[in-house]
Amino acid sequence: MIEKTLQFLEFDRREPDKMPVSERLRVFTEIYAPYDAHGAAQQAARCLACGNPFCEWKCPVHNYIPNWLALISEGKLFEAAELSHQTNSLPEVCGRICPQDRLCEGACTLNDGLGAVTIGSIEKYITDEALSQGWRPDMSGVRWTDKKVAIVGAGPAGLGCADILVRNGVKPVVFDRYARIGGLLTFGIPPFKLDKQVVETRRDLMQGMGVQFRLGVEIGTDLPFEALLADYDAVFLGMGTYQYVKGGFPGEDLPGVYEALPYLISNINRLLGLAGAEEQWINLKDQRVVVLGGGDTGMDCNRTAMRQGARSVTCTYRRGEDDMPGSRRDYKNSKEEGVEFLFNCQPVEIIGRTHVEGVKIVQTRLGTMGPRGRRLTENVPHSEQIIAADAVIIAFGFQPSPPSWFERHEIALHPGGRVRVSSSSARPFQTTNPKVFAGGDMVRGSDLVVTAVFEGREAARGILAHLGVN
């Protein structure tokens, strides 16, 4: 019998089964099968239970990873679910879409040739399976107060904030302009990575905890921000970043050039069967598609276009393969699904007269060290070439687009539009308006779902301190 802490020697890392490429290119459903109880327990038992768990430190929400792995290895599913939710408001989401290779699994001691523990897949299994067996968050010890907080934005930051508030007896009312919760979880991330029923299940769960959602309401248009300040004890802003970054080169306005987010949203809206979606759908079937950008959004565009039946998809990135900011898992899946990658190349012009005909790129190389300690790229002279294209998707990332009413309510911004917040441990994430808190992408810039969850939760702690609760 192999000692428990040495079970990694008996069992290799085994990821959940994955749908074959020939099948997954025909559908938009999630491509990974779930673990069964035996598989989850076996993989969880590979954990070394390190005395200083690097996985936990690398996780932005500092999940108690070795602890809930041990519970799963012992078959204690409900206990694992409770523990998982102590640090993360959306574990079933993060288990699906976090770049574990750069976070917890990348820091796993076994990642040095022995195969990291499949932390993300087990995290997903815990909540999915616990919910299917009837587990619900334990709210029996909550002492309700007379305080209520308005939350603007039902994305990861807003949901993280609402989770902490409601568990501490404060009534959260979450406003969002869309008809469903989730923000980009619902309308930006394709369903082959995150099935939309997962988000709807989370909505049901949170409503059962006492969170109220007011959807289809845009603050500043349908309801003035002044009303929130008057009617609520505090306000949290978690409105994300939706303004896309332009390349600043000729041809960006040609027909056939699309922003990444509207492209992804149009496809998801159609899959959800929303009103007017068919007319707004961007369909790239039989087209030669070029995606500009090597981040997670670029990978989502790659794989969506392949499922739409694009004739070809080529993705360009200005640095090398090892420097790509996107998830390695999504990059691998993109390659498996037929996407061609061109590294060390920079787009300088989109070619065409009345419609896109191609993209002019130049080769790049690393140059001098930049202000952030990273070598800058520079173009290689006389290295231009043209990639033929019928459609181009620009996926260079997103930046804040703060509404005009911020200034009127003394909510100060950094240059570039990010919201200024306090770093004080007494009132974390408090804006320059003492009654208003903020977190997520609109504070730190476009980033991961898990960092938005963390900041929403931390802002809630600041709100509780501001309200004198607990």
375 and 250 fall within a common domain? yes
The larger pLDDT score, comparing residue 358 to residue 242, is at 358
Q: How many domains does the chain divide into?
A: 3
Tell me which of 380, 396, 412 is where a domain ends: 396
Question: Rounded to an integer, what is the distance from CA 86 to the centroid of its chain?
Answer: 20
pLDDT in tens, 252-270: 999 999 999 999 999 999 9
- In this structure, are 196 and 297 located in the same domain? no
Phi, psi of 66 (to 5 degrees): -60, -30
- How deeply is 368 buried, as exposed, middle or buried, from its count of CB atoms within 10 A (0-12, 13-18, 19+)? exposed
- State whether 32 and 19 are in the same domain: yes
Strand pairing category for 345-352 and 356-369 = antiparallel
Q: Is residue 137 one of the residues assigned to a domain? A: no
**Residue 4 pLDDT grade (very low, low, confident, very high; cuts 50, 70, 90):** low
371-374: long-range contacts, CB 8 A cutoff, minimum separation 24: none
Burial of residue 379, with CB atoms counted within 10 A of its CB: 0-12 exposed, 13-18 middle, 19 or more buried: middle
> Cα–Cα distance between 95 and 104 in angstroms, integer?
11
Domain limits for position 69: 4-132
- List Cα–Cα distances, 411 to 237, 258, 270, 408, 418, in angstroms: 11, 32, 37, 8, 10
Q: Are residues 353 and 254 in the same domain?
A: yes
Is 368 in the same domain as 421? no
pLDDT for residue 8: 60
Please give the structure tokens belonging to residue 413.
């911004």
139, part of any domain: no
Q: In terms of domains, do 220 and 257 share one?
A: no
Contact 363, 397 (CB under 8 A): no
Co-location of 366 and 268 in the same domain? yes
Q: Which residues contact 267 (CB under 8 A, 6 or more apart)?
A: 190, 281, 282, 304, 308
Residue 338 belongs to a domain: yes
Residue 117 and residue 161 in one domain: no
Say what the pLDDT of residue 338 is. Answer: 97
The β-bridge relationship of strands 345-352 and 234-237 is: unpaired
Q: Examine the fold and report which residue of 132, 167, 198 is the final residue of a domain before the chain moves on.
A: 132
| % the chain with pLDDT above 70 | 98
In angstroms, the CA 213 to CA 289 distance is: 39
Same domain, 53 and 168: no
- pLDDT computed for residue 1 by the predictor: 38
366 in any annotated domain:
yes
Q: Specify the pTM.
A: 0.94
The mean pLDDT of the chain is 94
